[in-house]
Amino acid sequence: MKIGPIDLGERPVFLAPMEDVTDLAFRLMCKQFGADMVYTEFISSDALVRFVNKTTQKLTICEEERPVAMQIYGREVEPMVEAAKIVETARPDVLDINFGCPVKKVAGKGAGAGMLQNIPLMLEITKAVVEAVNIPVTVKTRLGWDNDHKIIVELAEQLQDCGIAGLTIHGRTRSQMYTGEADWSLIGEVKNNPRMHIPIIGNGDVTTPERAKEYFDCYGVDAIMIGRGSFGRPWIFKEVKHYLTTGEILPPLTFEWKMNVLREQVKQSIERLDERRGIIHIRRHLAASPLFKGIPNFRETRIAMLRADTLEELSTLFDRIIAENA
């Protein structure tokens, strides 16, 4: 599979762009475990053109994580074009446009998935961004605004006509947010449309190696994107790639090994930010990690882990958890 000139191999698996999740440290860790391409947190075009410091920091990438895509979002043509040009100077391999974020503060203002209610503007922005930069431009979007407006099959052709080099489809509508099951049948319909010739990347509910293979086999997508399935579990890429390559489940990774991966995540988060902010940042991963599911009488330990303010506190808790469960 190729996006523009970038060869991503057979059945590649990507790390989805996620705000407050896919920072540099986490991207590098997922890359280490086998992610074929990683995406930055999404970048507000309005904030970027105003050179807001917190936003410009998201432009930092490193050679070890390539190929890497940067994602921008916005609701007006000129700021999106200007932001795209700024992003290009940071030298990502791919520029992705976010037309899929469902959260109210984004979609409610007409950006992200909100653009599904204004297709002419979505297409105008897409065409203008493609023409403004010399790197491949891709789009990430959803099936439609709601169950009565699942427009992705027609929309995919329109976006392709704008000159994009690839399309990622999350198998839910905006109104679904992240509830219910992702509907991959329409993703498959887009992929199997004979008029489509760009790569189609499927996203939504890829939480196990078996499911990743099923989606490749059943719907014919060119790539799979993993989002929430990577929370507190960056080794999912190792498990998925092994299964896709061999057809066999990876031998179980030990509890202690996985705990040490989470420990490394904490360390890198603190090094990138500082102790307080780094620990706050990593709490989302700790809270969502499947590693702690099924541990009896874990509630109090879980609360303590998510309330810990220092690396010393967390390290002590991790040591105790390993001793009791390894």
Q: Are 220 and 251 in contact (CB under 8 A)?
A: no
Say yes or no: 93 and 31 in one domain.
Answer: yes
Phi (first) and psi of residue 148, to 5 degrees: -90, -5
DSSP state of 295: -
Say yes or no: 127 and 264 in one domain.
Answer: no
> In the numeric block, which tokens belong to residue 146?
């709601």
Say yes or no: 149 and 231 in one domain.
Answer: yes
Say yes or no: 239 and 203 in one domain.
Answer: yes
How far apart are the C-alpha atoms of 105 and 20, rounded to whole Å?
Answer: 15
Domain boundary among the residues 246, 263, 291 is at 246
Catalytic residue of the set 30, 101, 162, 218: 101
Say yes or no: 276 and 222 in one domain.
Answer: no
Q: Are 317 and 305 in contact (CB under 8 A)?
A: yes
Domain CATH number, residue 156: 3.20.20.70
Say yes or no: 140 and 283 in one domain.
Answer: no
User: What angle, 0 to 180 degrees and rounded to 10, lies between the N-to-C axes of helices 275-288 and 299-307?
Assistant: 150
As for how many domains the chain has, the answer is 2
Say yes or no: 58 and 166 in one domain.
Answer: yes
- 42's enclosing H/E stretch is strand 37-44
Burial of 36 (0-12, 13-18, 19+ CB in 10 A): buried
Say yes or no: 117 and 184 in one domain.
Answer: yes
- Neighbour count for residue 6 (Cβ, 10 Å): 17
What amino acid occupies position 311?
L
Which ranges of 204-274 does DSSP label H, i.e. alpha helix? 209-219, 236-246, 255-272
pLDDT tens for the chain, residues 1 to 326: 999 999 999 999 999 999 878 888 889 999 999 999 999 999 999 999 998 988 998 898 999 999 999 999 999 999 999 999 999 999 999 999 999 999 888 988 899 999 999 999 999 999 999 999 999 999 999 999 988 899 999 999 999 999 999 999 999 999 888 998 999 999 999 999 999 999 999 999 999 999 999 999 999 999 999 999 998 899 999 999 999 999 999 998 999 999 999 999 899 889 888 899 889 888 888 888 888 888 888 989 999 999 999 999 999 999 999 998 87
Domain boundary among the residues 246, 275, 292 is at 246
Domain boundary among the residues 211, 246, 281 is at 246
Say yes or no: 237 and 259 in one domain.
Answer: no
Q: Helix, strand or coil for residue 21? A: coil
Q: Are 59 and 51 in contact (CB under 8 A)?
A: no
Q: What is the pLDDT of residues 197-227, one digit of tens each?
A: 999 999 999 999 999 999 999 999 999 999 9
Active site residue 162: no
Say yes or no: 265 and 221 in one domain.
Answer: no
Say yes or no: 263 and 217 in one domain.
Answer: no
Q: What is the domain extent for residue 166?
A: 2-246
Say yes or no: 9 and 50 in one domain.
Answer: yes
